[in-house]
Amino acid sequence: MGEAKNKKQRECPAKGGIISPDECGRGRNSVFTCPTDCVHNPFATANFASHYAPLEARVTENLSRKLGSELTPAQLRELADAIDQHDGFTCHALHVWHVHGEGRLTRWMADAFQRGWKNDEQVMLSHLASIRPALLEFREVRDDLSCVAVDLLHPESPPFVAIDPAAASRLGRFAVMLGWRHDLPNGQRISGELLELPLSPGQDPLASFHALLEQLGAPADDRDAWLMEHMPLLAEAFTAIEAARQEKRVTATDLQSFVLHHRIEPSAAATLPDLLREHPRLFHGAPQDGKALLRAGLLDESCDRDHDEHADMVAVLTVYPDHLEVEAIGEAKAAQARRFIASLGVALGPEECTIEDLAASLPKQEYDPELVPACFLENLEPLEPDSPVVLKDPAGPTLAWRYRNFAHTALPILKNRTPREAAADTTLRPQLVQLMKGHLRACDIERRTRGTDFDLNPLLGELGLDELILPPPPLGWLAEDETEDDAIPLDPPPPQALLDGEELSRRIELVTSDEALWNRLDIRLADVLDAFNDLSEKLNPHELEALQTTVLAALGALHIEQVPGYEPDPERMLARYEAWIRSGDDEEELADYVERIFEGSCQPRLCEAAADLLFVLEKECGKKFRAKRLDVILTALAAAVWEAAHWPPLPG
């Protein structure tokens, strides 16, 4: 067709000819059926962070604003409570129910409330309209954005691609999660947070979930509609199930703490330490008490020191100049310790024993037993207060030795048959399949979050469970429930207008004088403010409260309105704080340090104004900040402003 005269025009495979940016923007995914890999398609997987996520946030914010004008005060309080408790699942559940479940979105769209929206926003809205509850069983993790999953609530549907970076970063094969999904051109989008279905070993997830729905009074038919309304109840039930399971495991575990004391007779005082140092049953460590002569762990009677890579430690022995102290948890381990002491053949005084029930001191979580079906309490094993020790470097990952003899080990859950025997038994094979799914889930989490290069596929092949053999997820290196500072990108904020002069003063005055605005900011910035609780060992309550109040005023002035793309990252903020605290040298004056970090915040005038406000609060309160803590307070303030500068830039 020749070269386009306008360089901005381009070939469009959907149109079958030349298209202009304006025509593309007005017609993609609506007038035209766009390829999902087109670089100009905001729904392309490659455009998730740059185009899709901001678009989704913008549409969701529009829906939330529309919803907020229709909810009753009681409904608004319920949403605010979920936000205050950082309960993202319940917050999303309430939003979905009020927008979709109660029919508001259908009514709004019939009234053409989106008439003035851009094309991409209207396309996104049409996809959000397909949202429904899902019980997802993940089968593969393809990359950092996408997984392959099935919806167990709709087993007739084939596996599909599920787009969700949070799930892809942590989940593995056969993880079972409750949440929502909606249609996308390139698969399904997981909407909101997910909750893991609490399962016992070998438990069938769909049968157990149906048992839970029956327990909660769900109808036999049209359960999608019931689930849409009762997702918060499911979350409460999941919490109750976990509490009940923990309670049952504690009850089944001998958590008696035995402390045995023996006086060392003078005739044994010189020989006992040397005897213990050379004993093959003992694993030695450094004494924690300065008065102790020796401290060692007593290895289980079944261990073979010459061949085993690992062994369980059943007791701890501490030798003092005049007595021997032995600590063990559980009567069986205390009995092992007593047999070991008797086997030494040294002169010791009679035993003095102190017993304490550790279970009585464990925190107990209140829960409603009516939310817990009996099937969720089956096949639970006692807690394992064991302390495994490494006797020699294992040949391969730790997981490898755990599964080395797994196929040939009799298991109570398989009626004391081995996995190899259960695989050949048609009555036990379904139980084995569910059991191995649980092992795959656990191993894949290690693989995904800790980079453990171990896969159970060879064992599955050995057992003939070919239906479970799927590609393992990519290796990851994010420690579970922990983010290392060096894993957090500390890139500088993008260029933006400087908040200064009269505009700065006006914004701070607006934020601090408008109580309703202040309360909205307090909810919106809760995660950032709560992150400073991690500094509580360095700051007293007065200093911490003043810091949080000042930061709320500063960040509110920087971003009075919640603009699209708003996504504060408290962990990144704390990482910036730690990096600044460790910077500089002992000769740097506090004033020079503060000037440097305020400048690094990219909003130095805002930091200065916030610092002035901080000292006003100090004067009004009548309690002085400790001079040795000023660097902590001002660094935290600058780090918060630095983090907020990463959010959408100021207009103009």
Q: What is the mean pLDDT of residues 563-580?
A: 78
Strand partners, 9: none
Half-sphere exposure of 186 (CA within 13 A, CB side): 19
DSSP 3-state of 295: strand
Q: What percent of the chain has pLDDT over 70?
A: 91
Q: What is the mean pLDDT of residues 192-218?
A: 94
CA 216 to CA 79: how far, in whole Å?
A: 23
Give the model's pLDDT for residue 86: 83
CA 553 to CA 285: how far, in whole Å?
A: 52
Give the model's pLDDT for residue 304: 82
Q: What is the pLDDT of residues 406-445, one digit of tens each?
A: 999 999 999 999 999 999 999 999 999 999 999 999 899 8
214, 220 in Cβ contact below 8 A? Answer: no
pLDDT of 147 > 80? The answer is yes
Q: What is the mean pLDDT of residues 459-474?
A: 94
DSSP 3-state of 445: helix
Give the model's pLDDT for residue 486: 41
Q: Which residue has the higher pLDDT, 568 or 45?
A: 45
Q: What is the pTM of this model?
A: 0.69
Q: Residue 576: pLDDT band by 50, 70, 90 thresholds? A: confident
Q: What is the pLDDT of residues 220-249, one digit of tens each?
A: 988 999 999 999 999 999 999 999 999 999
Average pLDDT, the chain: 87
CB atoms within 10 A of CB 497: 11
pLDDT of 97 > 90? The answer is yes
Q: Residue 578: pLDDT band by 50, 70, 90 thresholds? A: confident
CA 546 to CA 528: how far, in whole Å?
A: 14
pLDDT of 16 > 70? The answer is yes
pLDDT of 2 > 70? The answer is no
pLDDT of 157 > 50? The answer is yes
The per-type count for the chain, helices as H runs and strands as E runs, is: 23, 14
Q: What is the DSSP letter of 613?
A: H
Give the model's pLDDT for residue 538: 75
CB atoms within 10 A of CB 393: 7
Give the model's pLDDT for residue 417: 95
Q: What is the 3-state secondary structure (H, E, C) of 560-583?
A: CCCCCCCCCCHHHHHHHHHHHHCC
Q: What is the DSSP letter of 51?
A: I
Q: Which of 349, 348, 341 is nearest to 276 (CA)?
A: 341
Q: Residue 80: pLDDT band by 50, 70, 90 thresholds? A: confident
DSSP-assigned letters across all residues of 579-617: HHHT-S-TTS-HHHHHHHHHHHTT-HHHHHHHHHHHHHH
Structure tokens at 526: 């809760």
pLDDT of 395 > 60? The answer is no
CA 296 to CA 273: how far, in whole Å?
A: 11
Q: What is the mean pLDDT of residues 159-185?
A: 92
Q: What is the DSSP letter of 277?
A: H
pLDDT of 7 > 60? The answer is no
**Within 28-141, where are the H helices?**
53-68, 73-84, 88-96, 104-110, 119-128
Structure tokens at 147: 């997984």
CA 286 to CA 266: how far, in whole Å?
A: 24
CA 28 to CA 26: how far, in whole Å?
A: 6
Q: What is the pLDDT of residues 533-553, one digit of tens each?
A: 877 667 888 888 889 999 999
Encoded amino acid at 460, one letter:
L
Q: What is the pLDDT of residues 184-202, one digit of tens each?
A: 988 899 999 999 999 988 9
Q: What percent of the chain has pLDDT over 90?
A: 51
Q: What is the pLDDT of residues 241-278, one digit of tens each?
A: 999 999 999 999 998 999 999 999 998 888 898 899 88
CA 111 to CA 118: how far, in whole Å?
A: 17
Classify residue 206 as exposed, middle or buried by CB count within 10 Å of its CB (0-12, 13-18, 19+).
Answer: middle
Q: What is the pLDDT of residues 329-374, one digit of tens each?
A: 999 999 999 999 999 999 999 999 999 998 887 778 899 999 999 9
Q: What is the pLDDT of residues 581-603, one digit of tens each?
A: 887 766 778 888 898 899 888 89
Structure tokens at 504: 């700065």
Q: Which of 172, 193, 171, 191 is nearest to 182 (CA)?
A: 191
CB atoms within 10 A of CB 9: 17
* Region class of 584: left (phi > 0), else alpha (psi between -120 and 50), else beta: left
pLDDT of 286 > 60? The answer is no
Q: Which of 45-59, 80-94, 149-163, 305-319 is predicted with the least confidence, judged by mean pLDDT?
A: 305-319
Please provide residue 277's backbone torsions phi and psi, each rounded to the nearest 5 degrees. Answer: -65, -30
Structure tokens at 378: 């089956």
Distances in whole angstroms, Cα of residue 593 to Cα of each of 580, 581, 609, 639: 9, 10, 17, 13
First to last CA, the chain: 41
Q: What is the mean pLDDT of residues 38-53?
A: 89
Q: What is the mean pLDDT of residues 560-573?
A: 73
